[in-house]
């Protein structure tokens, strides 16, 4: 049990970095899904390119906002 506590104390300085690395997986997957499905939609209905592109940009902005929140949270809740 004490070995676990010593390990946690030794890694304390980089927990924010590890947390952000894990938090960046979600927005990365989300951006990939958005643009992958957008490309398929453009291939199926090229006449709707303006609407599809607008929805892609909106979804991308929301996913990137999650990534930026992930960057800020270690600083807000850090010790």
**Residue given tokens 């909106």 in the structure block:** 58
What tokens were used for 70? 């992930």
- CA dist 33 and 77 (Å) reads 30
What tokens were used for 65? 């906002």
Provide the pLDDT confidence category of residue 32 given band limits of 50, 70 and 90.
very high
Chain CA centroid to CA 33, Å: 12
Percent of the chain beyond pLDDT 70? 77
The mean per-residue pLDDT over the stretch 15-38 comes to: 85
- CA dist 49 and 55 (Å) reads 10
User: Does the pLDDT value for residue 77 go beyond 70?
Assistant: yes
User: Does the pLDDT value for residue 10 go beyond 60?
Assistant: no
- CA dist 65 and 48 (Å) reads 26
């Amino acid at each position: 049990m004490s070995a676990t506590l010593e390990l946690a104390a030794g890694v304390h300085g980089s927990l924010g970095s590890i947390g952000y690395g894990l938090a960046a997986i979600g927005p990365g997957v989300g951006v990939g899904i958005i643009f992958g499905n957008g490309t398929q939609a453009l291939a199926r209905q090229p006449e709707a390119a303006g609407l599809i592109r607008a929805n892609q940009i909106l979804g991308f902005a929301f996913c990137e906002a999650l990534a930026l929140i992930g960057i800020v949270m270690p600083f807000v809740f850090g010790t």
